[in-house]
Amino acid sequence: MDTQPGQPASHVLRRGTMAQPKGTVILAYSGGLDTSCILVWLKEQGYDVVAYLANIGQKEDFEAARKKALALGAKKVYVEDVCREFVEEFIWPAVQANAVYEDRYLLGTALARPCIARGLVGVAQKEGARHVAHGATGKGNDQVRFELTCYALCPSIKVVAPWRLPEFYQRFPGRRELMDYAQKHGIPVPVTPQTPWSMDENLMHISYEAGILENPKNPAPPGLYTKTCDPATSPDTPDVLEIEFEKGVPVKVTNVGDGTVRRSALELFMYLNDIAGKHGVGRIDIVENRFVGMKSRGIYETPAGTILYHAHLDIEAFTMDREVRKIKQGLSLKFSELVYNGFWHSPEGEFLRHCIARSQQAVAGTVRLSVFKGHVSILGRASPCSLYNEELVSMNVQGDYEPADATGFININSLRLKEYHRLQSKVTAKQAE
């Protein structure tokens, strides 16, 4: 069958027959190679495609991406700016939690996925679509994160995941085949088969993986990092910042040097990104455990998130009761695991966020810190809710504390140790007989 004038090539199937109509599908669209090919492929399968593009802080020409999707045959394109809600509804709870996965990963991608998927479901409901689709691979975490959010928010939704369908991944076993398909269908793509790694960016971070990075021995090549400067060549003068918190959330940042002040959530976060990026703060290179069971190597830049992690950790230790903090640390560990694995919209996830938010009621005050040569250094802190008693802890003032009481405290705590080692001595003596 020949293409009719003005009709996209994607309407024509390889065998010359039209697929049966399957209704509307909302595609999480990025404008890149994978989702552009998927858009055309979905049309080949008989779907009317509505593209959903979330502006979550990535560097992207959204108008160009919209035009590209329409040119490829999308029936409609939604471009939604979700940056503010990403910060306020997803990043801030993570800051309150001191969320970090496996001791190092600050969860930039994992936090973004439920935010994007929520918008995807919203468009599906608005359009009356029964299907949504995404371009996540069948080996990664993002397929789980997208789909668990979709099913939680709309249990009747059907998900089309091309990279898990044999008819798709057998047809496109590698990037070369995708590139050939793109060229055949007139899909303009900004990458070539020689691109040595893949990237995923949002307001909080950027990740690099695959390609030459799959060998964990290979160091990050020159030119890889895009959000942060090389710490070795960063400015020789630090930026000193004061970050004010209320209920565990940053509400104001002041640059002590030049007097710059930012208060709104989005502006504050973007400013910290700029300052941290200028000084090379927020780089990590790790091997992590994916939810699906394999280990993967990822390189991440999380500039503002790194500053806020250190600042919040400090003000929380200053204002929170010791035993409450021990419990909260356990909750934070579970929170991070749930976010990483895609369970943001689970009952246990909602419960944890409620508990963590309750723990933050008195986490208020100001942290002064230095950002310099890849490091965040705490310089001081002040809080009206501080549990720190300078007189009580002073070596120069006795205060409301009787040093002689420590003798009994030590005696009681040493009792268990004395008994344990007394018994161990007997066992060792018997074994030596």
Active site residues: 34, 113, 142, 198
Structure tokens of 307? 């500053």
d(CA 37, CA 236) in angstroms, rounded, equals 46
Q: Give the neighbor-by-neighbor strand order of the sheet with 249-255.
A: 261-262, 249-255, 239-246, 365-372, 375-382
How far out from the chain centre does Cα 347 lie?
20
Q: Which long-range contacts (CB under 8 A, 24 or more apart) does 57-63 make?
A: 57/83, 57/86, 57/201, 57/202, 57/203, 57/204, 58/201, 58/202, 58/203, 59/201, 60/30, 60/31
Ramachandran assignment for 305, one of left (phi > 0), alpha (psi -120 to 50 degrees), beta (any other): alpha
Q: How many CA atoms lie within 13 A of 222 on its CB side?
A: 0
Residues 6+ apart with CB under 8 A from 264: none
> Is residue 321 classed as helix, strand or coil in its secondary structure?
coil
The Cα–Cα gap between 278 and 263 comes to 20
How open is the CA angle 275-280-282, to the nearest 5 degrees?
90
The token duo for 417 is 């140790």
- Residue 154 corresponds to which tokens in the numbers above? 């709309």
